[in-house]
Amino acid sequence: MAIPPSWIVQTGRSIWTQIWQLMMSQLAPPNDRGEYQRPQSEFRNQIEGKYSAQPHRYRLYIGWSCPWAHRTLVVRALKGLEDAIEIVVLQGDANAGGWKLPKSEHDCQTLAQLYRFAKPGYTGRSTVPMLWDTQTYSIVNNESAEIIEILNAEFNEYAQHPELDLAPIALQESIAQWNETVYQTVNNGVYRCGFAQTQAAYDRAHAELFATLDEIELLLKNQDYLCGDLLTLADIRLFTTLIRFDVVYHNLFKCNRRQIRDYPHLQAYTAKIYQLPGVAATCNFPTILQDYYGNLFPLNPGGIIPQLPDLSYLVELKS
């Protein structure tokens, strides 16, 4: 078959580039160097004052595919808070421009509408995870890093595993240091690769991502977890990116220097956490694949959903 005439190729490329830049400016706002800038979360309340720790009072709104929401599911499972804190699973819908509720709540069909119900006139991002108070019909918090701290510390009276502390005082400095490094270069680093809008921005993010993964690989030769021999919130924050890495980030986000299965110690570490009680049930791989490849259409305009990669190491490797 003949290649289309050059004017068709050039016109098509020009039109698609303009459309892509417009969509990406809304999906992933860049700075003047083409680097993705993740906006800050806006609801940052704690369980104090008008928000008291009570069972069955709070709901956690999540999406299976979201790594930030996944953190909260893992901590909820490890602490044994399933009976105390309900989850509401949302569906990502690109046509709706965000997350859809499984059923109408307060005459709201989407998460964006629920945000505006809680705060009339709200125009910010409507993200998951979101911790909702069913008594005051208000948003407690939508910052995942803070929600997992809340789940770890504030509901022990209702937890099946109150003895588990994922942020012990003696390790808090180490946890904070790893959180900062992992957030910048890995958690957000994969998005900085996938959403980069210049070659230089992508190259920087890619180099920083794999420098950190290489560093952690060496560290895990001599210890079980980031902060030593104890599982902490820092590990949970890293895990939810690692578990998606071979499934979506390696290909879709161009994080393609290596896969996690190419790192002996990182893959064993990921499998160790995956095999902890309750954690595997929080990992919905078909939905992760569908949502990333299906909803991030600027990165996958053809809409083809690939097959899942080989994830057998998650169950074959013993912790």
Q: Is the peptide bond between 162 and the residue preceding it cis, with omega within 30 degrees of 0?
A: no
Whether 191 is a known active-site residue: answer yes
Question: Cα 266 to the chain's mean position, in Å?
Answer: 18
β-strand partners of 228: 225
Indicate the DSSP class of residue 185: I
Catalytic residue among 36, 191, 202, 274: 191
Which residue type does 102 have?
Answer: P
- In the sheet with 108-110, reading across from the earlier edge strand, the strands are 91-93, 98-105, 108-110
Place of tokens 């928000």: 51
Q: How many CB atoms lie within 10 A of CB 38?
A: 15
Task: Locate all alpha helices (DSSP H) within the chain, ordered by sequence.
Answer: 6-27, 67-79, 111-118, 144-153, 172-182, 189-194, 199-219, 233-244, 250-252, 264-274, 285-295, 313-316
Catalytic residue among 51, 66, 249, 255: 66
CA distance to 40, 43, 67, 73, 231, per residue, from 46 (Å)? 17, 10, 22, 18, 24
Q: 37 in the Ramachandran plot: left (φ > 0), alpha (ψ -120 to 50) or beta?
A: beta
Whether 158 is a known active-site residue: answer no
Q: Under DSSP, is residue 36 helix (H, G, I), strand (E, B) or coil?
A: strand
Show which residues are catalytic: 66, 191
